[in-house]
Chains A and B, each alone.
Chain A
Amino acid sequence: MARSKSISIIILLVVIALFILSWVIKATTFESDPDRISLWFSVRDAFFITMAAFLTLAIFSFLYKDNPYYKFAEHLFVGISAAYWMCVGFWSTLVGNLVPNISETLSTFFKVPYKGFHFTYFVPLILGIILLMRLSSKHGWISRWALAWIVGTTAGLNLIRYLRTDFISQVSNTFVPLLVDWKGVGPFFSDFSLSSTGQFAMTLSNWVIFIGVFCGLIYFFFSKEHKGIFGTASRVGIWVLMITFGASFGYTVMGRVSLLVGRLTYLFKDWLGLIS
């Protein structure tokens, strides 16, 4: 136990020493940079760059196993995010939206243009205060009223938009011509092209959409046993879904690798200066 504690302390001292060393080296390399006009800028920027590199490595250290450095970086991130959102909420919602509509004095104080007194803005103000009541164990139930308001209005507003744009329009998007620009068999073969915007590719693409949607819907139709032609169509539906999930997985890998590239670029470029 004592041995593991002393190892932890040694690791901590090494990390601190490396951090300070990196900070000093970075600050001295900045001295020739014309954008950093004084020593203060060099020292400050070097600290932030080294800190960001340290936090990146601390997060990466979780890949080996859970450790105090990872926990430190994680907690710091959560704390800063919460504080950031609170400040943004205050300046954007209270100062940006509420103050210009209820008080000229406050508008002058916060330097935002006064729009005139609007009584209706007290409704969200009161609902906001009610929402905070959940901090009280005795009066917490009142916050449900504000929550109910939020859920109700969001559902009401979204229902129409989603129904029109996400449902009806999406259904109509699947109504595609199965023979694109069809002028007969002769012209089809005489003008045959494998171009992505050509007649063949467009027709094939529309057939894939048609069969994919049709078979995908059959797979989710459970009122009839999946046997015979119905079963075959259902199996095609499964294939369509599997290909979709595969494409999603491929994209997810691409996204995650991009983020890794982003952090490694930071380490190699901004911190270590290995790449230009």
Chain B
Amino acid sequence: MDFTFLCSGKPEPNGRKVAIIGAGPSGLSATGYLACAGYKVEVYDKLPKPGGLMVFGIPGHRISPENIARGAEKLEKEFGVEFKLRTKICGSEPMHEETGDDMAYTYKSLGGRVEDNDAVLICTGTWKSRRMEVPGHELPGVYSGLEFLFPVRAASYEIANMDVPEIKGKKVVVIGAGFTAVDVVHAALTEGASRVSLVYRRSREEAPCGSMEFNMLEKQGAVCMEHSAPLEIVGTDRVEGVRFAPCVMSEPDEAGKCRLTVQKEESFVMEADIVVTAVGEMGTPPFAHDLGLDNVRKGDVKWLQMTSLDSVFVAGDVLMGPSKIGKAVYSGLKAAKSLDEWLTLKDQGRLDEFQDEVIRREDLR
């Protein structure tokens, strides 16, 4: 990925400095834009390599990590971008515990970044997995999609203090039908699980990942079970199985809505050594409250993608919720452009001219 697609080489420095927090797709795209505009950019990330979930979440057969590394290397060597890896940025608010935090060696404050730079862009993504609130979800052997995928990918960078799930010869049950679930099934098969089952409460035609992925996983040896909802995760001191109940879709009611009925009396237990609940991720923005992120989402701000702290901008999944790489890239590029325009007008003392500009919600998409 060549993030500097907007220019042919390093431009004359414009004397401005920005810090970008998070080296995922949106952070790196913004870095490329700003580097091409002559900024001195430093990029912070808690992980040991740039790329974010493109490197540490999405399997290597989908996105080659070398492709991302090449892009980051070009930013560093040709454009003088400084990568400060294994560094997590924190603030006064209590920290969230997120996947990958234990890879950070250094902690630095957001306040310091704001003081040292002309502007800061936060692109920290969505690193907290949604938990499935069924009895037994806290048993050892139950993972979220990210908790399962991250160590498998990260182990190649750091084996020492990584809690990698032992997968070989195990029976793995994956709940969910998004692309994360598909990647988990794929990783489990590759790591030599004896049996991998994908369970979804609706039909494959309704699955977010599409029926084609289901058919492909079946060809690769996974068992796909549709119309089954998890009731509880069973086990005494670690997971032993999952109790599922068949789900039946009712005929459409007057409003045209179909209801999903869980037939609890017909429940059954599926044996499992590892259960992965891939039911989505959430954003854990640092200092969400201080920055007024809800207002940014509604477009209720002074400047496009600027938070309630002057000169602090935000982009990517952390703002819009988990989405596709493309959306993150677009958000990063737009925030970078907005940041550049804001600093330019500020330098010219012309910000007042634009204070009545209306920011529409559509502008964020």
Specify whether A and B are partners: no
